Amino acid sequence: MMKRRTFLQSSLAATLTTSLASPAFAAQSKRPRILLRSSWQVVNIGDIAHTPGVLALIEKHLPDAEVILWASGDLTDEVAAMEHGRFPNLKIVKGSIRGDGTASSAELQDAIKWSEFLLHGSGPSLVAARDVAAYVKHTGKPFGVYGITHGSFLSGDDKELLSKAKFVFFRDSVSLALAKEQGVDCPVMEFGPDGAFACDLRDDAAATAFLKANGLEEGKFLCCQSRLRYTPYWTIPSKKRDIDPKRHAHNEAMKERDHAPILESIIRVVRETDLKVLLCPEDMTQMKVGKENLYDKLPADVKPRVVWRENFWLTDEALSVYVRSAGLFGSEMHSPIMAVGNGIPAIVCRFAEQTSKGFMWQDIGLGDWLFDLDDEDQSAKIPDAVVAMASDFAAAKAKTEAARQFVQKRQRETMQVLANQFI
């Protein structure tokens, strides 16, 4: 597992010709004007976290930059207010670029004209490929891509467009290798951490109240998320989707097997340690999933020390709870990303339907905290790993910090590449 990370570190060091110690930032003669295309959907706190994460990185590493967020249409007032709480001066625009090159809103039209660089934020693919292509076609201005997965069922035929970028950072090495194999060619193609690692939103008041109301003490509980193979978006009223019979059937066929090692982990943590467990959601469908597949199946002696959160929450409250926990485990990805980015241990369980993003755990040095639920041998080892993490927080914390330092190093280096676009 460490060989992959060592290779990444050595190869990346060889390709980078500048560092933050260089005069790159000082050499900028004017404030960079960045149009950030991000904000994919708000039914998932991880999808929300991409945007404030990248904004925080730009704020830290390009402090003179001005940023306008080009958000997707479903960005809600509630989520926008949360983002403005952290970034009070952030301007947000919505809309699309028509075939004739004009924008569908005056605000977007002004933002496009104002911008000198388009940055596509983190996501499961080049999510806004159509918007990026239109921006490039009608403005001729440069763009870059920050922390995406490539080659999944969500990806289109993006080879030509990605090759036009000034840089593309892939959030897992599997995506990077595939892009190279496919012949994607742009000046900088490297591993770059998911932007959500840098998310630092907080709602401490809400988190403190929730923990108190549910008898959870700081440092005395683990967080657990679980999911189905395919997110049942058809159960979310705002999505207005018809049920997908094939995906629903696959979810039903796999849910007992997928939840078995997580259920056993919860039982063993309660019986073998002094910690409690909080079942909490990453998306709006998971409250029901967690209750039916985990909470309702707990033995009578275990259930009193397990808390099931029945309501959805936003990223700021969730992260404020995570940083008060002793760690996370389960079959989600972005809650662990946010946890590790803020120094909290996290074990990731993945399966094929989640694309290759989980392999970033190997890339940052946490390969032995990554388990494949499609592999029976790996799946059987999950409870032992969770109990070990729960039993020695100091060791787990030290391991997490090493990964966090690697992530932060890459964040500095990738932001330098962005800064170099304005020299």
Split at pLDDT 50, 70, 90, the class of 240 is: confident
Buried b vs exposed e over 275-306: b needs ≥16 C-beta within 10 Å?
bbbbbbbbbbbbbebbeebbbebbeeebbebb
What pLDDT digit, counting tens, does each position of 379-418 carry?
A: 999 999 999 999 999 999 999 999 999 999 999 999 999 9
Neighbours of 205 (CB within 10 A): 10
What pLDDT digit, counting tens, does each position of 36-55 carry?
A: 999 999 999 999 999 999 99
Residue 30: the pLDDT is 84
Position 13 pLDDT exceeds 80:
no
What pLDDT digit, counting tens, does each position of 328-352 carry?
A: 999 999 999 999 999 999 999 999 9
Domains parsed from the chain with CATH numbers: 2-199+407-420 (3.40.50.11720), 204-404 (3.40.50.2000)
Split at pLDDT 50, 70, 90, the class of 281 is: very high
CA 49 to chain centre: 6
Rounded to whole angstroms, the Cα distance separating 214 from 204 reads 15
Decide: 37 and 118 in contact? Cβ < 8 Å: yes
Split at pLDDT 50, 70, 90, the class of 156 is: low
Neighbours of 387 (CB within 10 A): 18
Position 8 pLDDT exceeds 60:
no
Position 377 pLDDT exceeds 60:
yes
Rounded to whole angstroms, the Cα distance separating 172 from 128 reads 19
Q: Write the CA distances from 95 to 75, 100, 181, 236, integer angstroms.
A: 11, 14, 34, 24
Residue 12: the pLDDT is 42
Helix ranges (DSSP H) in 342-392: 360-363, 376-380, 382-391
Position 21 pLDDT exceeds 80:
no
In 3D, which of 338, 342, 327 has the Cα closest to residue 390?
327
Position 195 pLDDT exceeds 60:
yes
Average pLDDT, the chain: 93
